[in-house]
């Protein structure tokens, strides 16, 4: 093995770590995504106590503005979006989310189910384990020939020990 081989393995490790991150953030099925949106809706509604404010105007869950608080102004568009969701009502949020996500799925595919993501993640982690073992074996071979070779800061100590045990 050469230094070039070590760099190739490290490039493959970085690519696999990116695959894992992408999958973790990846597209859900429409039903799963709608369920996550509705769970957030319900959580926000419960945390609000039924009172919302947009630019100083307080609203209850029915969209009624019983009074205005003078001088208040929201600097947080995300909070305003949560209020608007609440004022739309759960059924309207679900209808809109489903329509948008269905259109998205037509352009980008249906997404993976939780079971598919779980299997894919396990496969990715297995591939990463093999790549990290290959990296450590390469480092051990290079150290035997050329001296010390630095490890990645995020190298898994369990992988290092596993490779060392096999090396001895």
Task: List pLDDT tens digits, range 42-54.
Answer: 887 777 665 555 5
Q: What is the dihedral of CA 139, 141, 144, 149, to 10 degrees?
A: -20
Range 42-67 average pLDDT: 57
**What pLDDT, on a 0 to 100 scale, did the predictor assign at position 66?**
44
Task: List pLDDT tens digits, range 17-26.
Answer: 999 998 888 8
Q: Name the average pLDDT for the chain.
A: 79
58 touches 51 (CB < 8 A): yes
Q: Is 38 helix (H, G, I), strand (E, B) or coil?
A: helix
Task: List pLDDT tens digits, range 139-152.
Answer: 888 887 777 778 88
Beta-sheet strand order (sheet of 51-54): 51-54, 57-60, 67-68
């Amino acid at each position: 093995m050469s230094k070039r081989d070590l760099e190739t393995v490290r490039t493959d490790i970085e690519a696999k770590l990116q695959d894992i991150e992408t999958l973790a953030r990846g597209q859900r099925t429409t039903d799963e995504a709608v369920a996550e949106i509705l769970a957030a809706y319900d959580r926000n509604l419960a945390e609000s106590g039924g009172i919302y404010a947009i630019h100083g105007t307080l609203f209850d869950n029915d969209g009624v503005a019983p009074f205005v608080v003078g001088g208040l102004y929201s600097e947080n568009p995300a909070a305003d979006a949560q209020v608007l969701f609440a004022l739309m009502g759960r059924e309207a949020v679900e209808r809109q989310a489903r329509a948008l996500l269905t259109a998205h799925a037509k352009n980008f595919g249906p997404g993976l189910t939780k079971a598919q993501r779980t299997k894919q993640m396990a496969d990715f982690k297995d591939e990463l384990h093999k790549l990290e073992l290959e990296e450590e074996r390469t480092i051990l071979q290079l150290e035997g020939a050329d001296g010390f070779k630095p490890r990645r800061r995020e190298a898994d100590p369990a992988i290092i020990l596993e490779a060392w045990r096999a090396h001895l």
